[in-house]
Amino acid sequence: MNVMYMGELAVCRVLWDKHDNISALKRVAEKYPPKLKTAIIDFFMFEAEFSFMFAESNAGKNDAYYFATHIVRAVSALNQVLFAVNEEYCLNEKKAVSMIDSFDIRPHSYKERVNAIFEVAGSAAVDACTQLKQLIDEAKGILL
């Protein structure tokens, strides 16, 4: 996503900038734009629920790959929502769940709950869906 570049700029350490061009852009990027926050929350909350719908409707249909794909998509979208709610840029998926666990605004025990969803996804798809739905609903409650 293009917004990742803005996030990289916001967190980078400028080593040399003869004309202050990069530093000026960095100062802009360090202020999380309200319209970006709204757009990311709206788009990715829809994506989380949409992917969950497909995961739920395919739980137990003997297509573990398709089911797992939608679980991953739903959690990835939820990660984007929670980063935006906290006005943080999500630079990549690596350590995103752990980072969310340190945010002020988040579902309780987020990392533990996400890990539990993936632990049961292969053997108890319906349970994974139930847990994922609870997490999505809690995240939606944060937005209200």
Same domain, 52 and 87: yes
Q: How many domains does the chain have?
A: 2
Q: Mean of the per-residue pLDDT values for the chain?
A: 93
**Can you read off the two tokens belonging to residue 1?**
């996503």
Residue 107 near residue 142 (C-beta atoms within 8 A): yes
**Chain Cα centroid distance, residue 129:** 17
Strands (E), the chain: none
**3-state class percentages of the chain: helix first, strand second, coil last, to nearest 5:** 70, 0, 30
| Exposed/middle/buried for residue 51 (C-beta within 10 Å: 0-12, 13-18, 19+) | buried
Same domain, 19 and 44: no
Same domain, 46 and 107: yes
- Rounded Cα–Cα distance for residues 26 and 24 (Å): 5
Q: How far apart are the first and last CA of the chain?
A: 26
Same domain, 14 and 59: no
Q: Which range (25-29, 133-137, 140-144) has the least confidence? A: 140-144
Same domain, 80 and 18: no
| Exposed/middle/buried for residue 35 (C-beta within 10 Å: 0-12, 13-18, 19+) | exposed
Q: What angle do CA 139, 35, 137 make, to 5 degrees?
A: 10
> Residue 115 contacts by C-beta under 8 Å, 6 or more apart in sequence?
97
| 5-52 pLDDT, tens digit each | 999 999 999 999 999 999 999 999 999 999 999 999 999 999 999 999
Same domain, 75 and 109: yes
Same domain, 37 and 27: no
Only one residue has tokens 């990392």, namely 111
- Rounded Cα–Cα distance for residues 81 and 83 (Å): 6
3-state secondary structure of 96: helix
Residue type, 137: D
pTM comes to: 0.87
Same domain, 133 and 90: yes
pLDDT(67) > 80: yes
Same domain, 137 and 66: yes
| 68-83 pLDDT, tens digit each | 999 999 999 999 999 9
Same domain, 102 and 57: yes
Tell me the residue range of the domain where 21 lies.
1-31
